[in-house]
């Protein structure tokens, strides 16, 4: 009886050529063991890599994400006043919501109530405010104002999301609940410079009409 052949003449294994006492039936078993070992190694890597990334990139829980620094998206609104909104870079404007839309008015930059600093005044409503987070107030037929929120350091504000309107910018108590399409932020610092030291917050900078940077963070 040859290797791999049962007494009844049937064969359950096939000898490997040159190695008559090692059957091919053993090969799949070894291969399965190797596959299991590889799968085990991949499982370890699958756990270790996210852990490594979490440790070295600051990954954390959902609670950590909720405390992430706030953003300050640029907002676009349309002015509905009958008169053209003449303003020069560096001047400030206040905005009032009426039944006709938003009405701009020149204002002192230190006036009570929320104001915006005019970064640039464009003659055409289709003109671009350029690179940066400038909000835009467009007046059909008269042009566009590229504006910067006039925040004070140490104060809290309600600010709109990208789908909000410019009149959603307003001073607010730091513990105020955010209204729809808004968030409440704390302005931790303000500097007439291209950047600002901002540990734990987010830097928002503007180049026009002159360098201005804010450090903002969630109000609570």
Per DSSP, the residues of 81-132 read -SS-----TT-EEEEEEETTEEEEEEE-TTSSS--EEEEEEESSTTS---SS
H helix or E strand, kind and range, residue 47: helix 26-57
pLDDT of 34 reads 58
Round to whole Å and give the CA distance between 211 and 208. Answer: 6
pLDDT at 192 over 50: yes
In sequence order, the 6+-apart residues with CB closer than 8 A to the CB of 152 are 187, 190
Of 44-58, 66-80, 136-150, which one has max mean pLDDT? 136-150
pLDDT at 149 over 80: yes
Round to whole Å and give the CA distance between 31 and 101. Answer: 74
pLDDT of 119-129, one tens digit each?
Answer: 999 988 889 99
Mean pLDDT of the chain: 76
pLDDT of 59 reads 36
- What is the gyration radius of the CA atoms in the chain, in angstroms? 33
Average pLDDT over residues 41-59: 38
Round to whole Å and give the CA distance between 188 and 197. Answer: 10
């Amino acid at each position: 009886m040859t290797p791999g052949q049962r007494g009844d003449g049937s064969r359950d294994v096939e000898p490997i050529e040159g190695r008559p006492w090692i059957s091919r039936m053993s090969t799949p078993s070894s291969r399965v063991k190797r596959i299991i070992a590889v799968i085990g190694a991949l499982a370890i890597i699958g756990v270790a890599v996210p852990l490594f990334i979490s440790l070295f990139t600051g990954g954390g829980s959902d609670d950590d994400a909720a405390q992430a620094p706030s953003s300050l998206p640029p907002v676009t609104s349309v002015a509905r006043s009958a008169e053209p909104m003449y303003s020069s870079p560096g001047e400030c404007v206040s905005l009032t919501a009426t039944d006709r839309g938003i009405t701009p008015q020149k204002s002192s930059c230190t006036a009570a109530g929320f104001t915006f600093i005019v970064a640039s005044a464009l003659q055409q409503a289709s003109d671009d405010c350029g690179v940066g987070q400038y909000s835009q107030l467009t007046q059909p037929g008269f042009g566009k104002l590229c504006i910067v929120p006039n925040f004070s350091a140490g104060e809290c504000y309600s600010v709109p999301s990208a789908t909000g309107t410019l009149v959603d910018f307003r001073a607010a108590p730091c513990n105020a609940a955010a209204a729809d399409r808004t968030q409440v932020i704390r302005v931790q610092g303000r500097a007439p410079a291209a950047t600002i030291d901002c540990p734990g917050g987010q830097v928002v900078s503007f180049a026009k009409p002159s360098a201005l940077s804010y450090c903002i963070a969630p109000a609570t």
